[in-house]
Amino acid sequence: MKQLLALIAGVVFGIGLTVSGMTDPARVRGFLDLFGNWDPTLAFVMGGALIVMVVAWLVQPRMVRPLVDTSWHLPGTRHLDGKLLGGAALFGVGWGLGGLCPGPAIASLGTAPMSVAVFVIAMIAGMSLHRLVADRL
């Protein structure tokens, strides 16, 4: 049941990304082009996501446990360290250069697989390389 709900949530998320145009790298780069032909669409998508998360943050503490699991799996720390900041910077640079992040890239596999395949392959290679290096450290 948990896997089915995760699949449904992922499909709904992917559809939302596609309908909102967030799978279009040109739209993302347009949002990041503050001094050129700025496209504010992504700001509205982020605002909508923020509203949903505020509701979730208000509801979650009142729940004893999640609906389809035995316990919550929330981040255990609010500590900012070099790994977190470095990863965020690397993510931002990749997002700016490629115009995609992991969610929209995976969603784009359903609509334009050939144009996003190189990005997804590089993303998987990067995650695999991180896992190898992190395990050795």
For residue 134, give both structure tokens: 């992190």
Q: Which long-range contacts (CB under 8 A, 24 or more apart) does 93-98 make?
A: 95/28, 96/29, 96/32, 98/25
Residue ranges of alpha helices (H) inside 20-112 are 25-32, 41-59, 82-98, 102-108
For residue 47, give both structure tokens: 């605002």
Distance CA 51, CA 54 (A): 5
Distance CA 70, CA 31 (A): 40
Distance CA 91, CA 112 (A): 22
Question: What share of the chain in percent tops pLDDT 90?
Answer: 26
Q: Give the pLDDT score at 90.
A: 87
Each domain of the chain, given as residue ranges in start order, spans: 2-136
53: pLDDT confidence band, cut at 50, 70 and 90?
A: very high
pLDDT in tens, 19-51: 888 888 888 888 888 898 899 988 998 899 899
Q: What does each C-alpha distance from 107 to 55, 60, 78, 114 come to in angstroms? A: 25, 27, 30, 13
pLDDT, average across residues 115-129: 90
